[in-house]
Structure 1
Amino acid sequence: MASIRSSTLLPQCTSCIRRLTRQNLEAWGPQQTRSISKKAKEAERNITVQLLKDVPRFGRAGSYVPLNPSLMRNRWFPARVANYVPATQMKQLKAQEVDMGRDFTFGVRLNLEEAEEEEDDFMSQSKHYVRPIEIDVLSAERSMELLNAFVPPTIDFYRQRIEQEKESRERLGASGAADILTAAAMGIKAKAPTDAIYGSVSTADLVSTIRGALAHNDEAARVILNEADVKFVSGHEEGDASRVKQLGTFKVEIRLPGAEEPLVRNIRIRAKESEA
């Protein structure tokens, strides 16, 4: 009888079933889903570390603060800003109810009129910091000492000698006066000196060679030497002390700005075929 009575109470038509189902759904109400915020997810991933230095917006050295594991692994731990907390020590800290929260007000200077909260933390500020280039310039006296130590007394250069033209055979039956008139008429140029070379040895060549000698020492490589600091004392043409165009041994002066005395060295230009 109970089964028959219960079956009679159930709705028999489709419209009744729809109405009953709608009433049940309205009674339950709309179902809500709760999403975890980004800050909550970050808080779950954070680990507790012990600060080794005072860090603004985090805390003093020795305090325990939560931190992102990737930030700890890549930046804070290599920079010795914080240290990891072992699991056994973590249990003791929790048992002792030690405060392991972050102090957002530590190291922050608040204005009386308005307190502006900075978005970047201590390590993000250092991320955008560009360290200026520091150049430790040597003094003129120290630079001259290094030049004197690393530049040899004589610097050799090799250049090709200009070959002299062979004298033309004397013409038979021609007088000396006729030869002079003929040479003047043809505009024959004066012969080049026997020690003339192709090209020249310039102060730029000398500076390049000296820089190569200084490059073998870390301190000497910092010496700043320009072409204006070098000049030939002998062997150069009048009015141009920046180059020599002949074979031989000549003197050159090296004087840096601020130096009292110049450094004198010998420049020896040798024929290229005698290099062997």
Structure 2
Amino acid sequence: MASLGRSALLPQCSACTRRITQLSWAEARQPFQQQVRCKTKAARQAERDVVAVLLNDTPRYGAAGTYITLNPAIMRNKWFPQRLADYVPWQKVKQLKKDNVTIGRDPEFGVQRALQEDEVEDSELVQQRKPYVRPVEIDFISPERSMELLTTFIPPTIEFSRQRIEQDEVESKPRYGASNAADILTAAAMASKPKVSKNAIYGSVSTADVVSTIKAALSHNDEAARVVVSENDVRFVQKGADSDPTKIKELGTFKVEIKVPGAEEPLIRTVRVRARKAEEQ
């Protein structure tokens, strides 16, 4: 058992004691090393750049005589051979720094005039490059020719089929046990009920239906398909003050007027509304 006064971490042999002693003396002889941060890429690049003086006015760099810093490779391969800039001796650079002379390029030099010229050129290009929009050319047909085409392609009779409204049959059987008051009320209700024509139909035949039929008939010819017909150009000719010139609500045969704007005389055609058969429903 190890002694209580002696640490168990101390070396137990002479070899271990000698090794530990040598390491301690080596660490003591080494000087204190201070941590140094690495230089940035920009700082390293600034140390490598060379100072040059411009020989001519150079846009975005400066006027002639301006001191700038350049990459050694670019200075050696481009600026110095083309006589754009010349090297500055290190003695001169030292004197410039001592005199606080600005060494650096001027990015705004000669840019304002160039930008104005570019803006003028760009505006001219935009005006020249505006797409040409060809105006729509519509070859209108004269009213006289339109009426001739309507007369040729519209048949004399335009047919439509609609479902007839079935009439309610009045009960003729006697009502046993009904009072006189009930009979009076029934008679009053029957009298107030509006009478429906026996030829009444569900819905109607309107001028829009006639226009659709006319357009379908004109579509078979290229010239006739250019004829413009609207609902205002079609009118039913019906008898009676209550007649609606825009629609028909019963079976029968009716006259319709078709007149395009500018025509002198309307075209008269017959519209026949027949009862729809059971197989057509």
TM-score between the two structures when normalised by the length of structure 2? 0.51
Q: CA deviation at 1:190?
A: 3.6
Contact 1:159 1:271 in 2 (8 A): yes
1:84-121 alpha-carbon deviations (Å, 9 max, x no partner): xxxxxxxxxxxxxxxxxxxxxxxxxxxxxxxx999559
Instruction: For 2:190 and 2:198, locate their aligned partners in 1 and report how far apart those are by CA, in whole Å.
Output: 23
Q: Does 1:30 align with 2:34?
A: no
TM-score between the two structures when normalised by the length of structure 1? 0.52
Instruction: For 1:157 and 1:176, locate their aligned partners in 2 and report how far apart those are by CA, in whole Å.
Output: 47
Partner of 1:157: 160
1:201-243 alpha-carbon deviations (Å, 9 max, x no partner): 0101111111111112111111111111110012677252111
Q: Partner amino acid for 1:151?
A: I
Q: Does 1:138 align with 2:184?
A: no
> How does 1:1-276 map onto structure 2 within 5 Å?
30-32=76-78, 119=124, 128-171=131-174, 182-184=186-188, 188-234=192-238, 238-273=242-277
Contact 1:140 1:258 in 2 (8 A): yes
Instruction: For 2:240 and 2:278, locate their aligned partners in 1 and report how far apart those are by CA, in whole Å.
Output: 23
Q: CA deviation at 1:275?
A: 7.0
Contact 1:160 1:197 in 2 (8 A): yes
Q: For residues 157 and 258 of structure 1, do their structure 2 counterparts lie closer, same or farther at Cα, with a shift above 3 Å needed?
A: same
1:119-160 alpha-carbon deviations (Å, 9 max, x no partner): 559xx9587110011111111001101111111111110111
Instruction: For 1:245 and 1:235, locate their aligned partners in 2 and report how far apart those are by CA, in whole Å.
Output: 13
Contact 1:160 1:198 in 2 (8 A): yes
Structure 2: gaps (5+ residues): 1-71, 80-119
Instruction: For 2:158 and 2:152, locate their aligned partners in 1 and report how far apart those are by CA, in whole Å.
Output: 14
Q: For residues 132 and 230 of structure 1, do their structure 2 counterparts lie closer, same or farther at Cα, with a shift above 3 Å needed?
A: same
Instruction: For 1:274 and 1:148, locate their aligned partners in 2 and report how far apart those are by CA, in whole Å.
Output: 34
Q: For residues 236 and 136 of structure 1, do their structure 2 counterparts lie closer, same or farther at Cα, with a shift above 3 Å needed?
A: farther
Contact 1:233 1:241 in 2 (8 A): yes
Contact 1:158 1:275 in 2 (8 A): no
Structure 1: gaps (5+ residues): 1-25, 34-115
Q: Partner amino acid for 1:132?
A: P
Contact 1:236 1:245 in 2 (8 A): no
Instruction: For 2:180 and 2:148, locate their aligned partners in 1 and report how far apart those are by CA, in whole Å.
Output: 62
Higher radius of gyration, 1 or 2 = 2
Secondary structure at the counterpart of residue 209 of structure 1: helix
Secondary structure at the counterpart of residue 212 of structure 1: helix
Q: Partner amino acid for 2:152?
A: A
Instruction: For 1:199 and 1:210, locate their aligned partners in 2 and report how far apart those are by CA, in whole Å.
Output: 20
Instruction: For 1:236 and 1:149, locate their aligned partners in 2 and report how far apart those are by CA, in whole Å.
Output: 31
Q: For residues 275 and 260 of structure 1, do their structure 2 counterparts lie closer, same or farther at Cα, with a shift above 3 Å needed?
A: farther
Q: How many residues align?
A: 166
Secondary structure at the counterpart of residue 238 of structure 1: coil
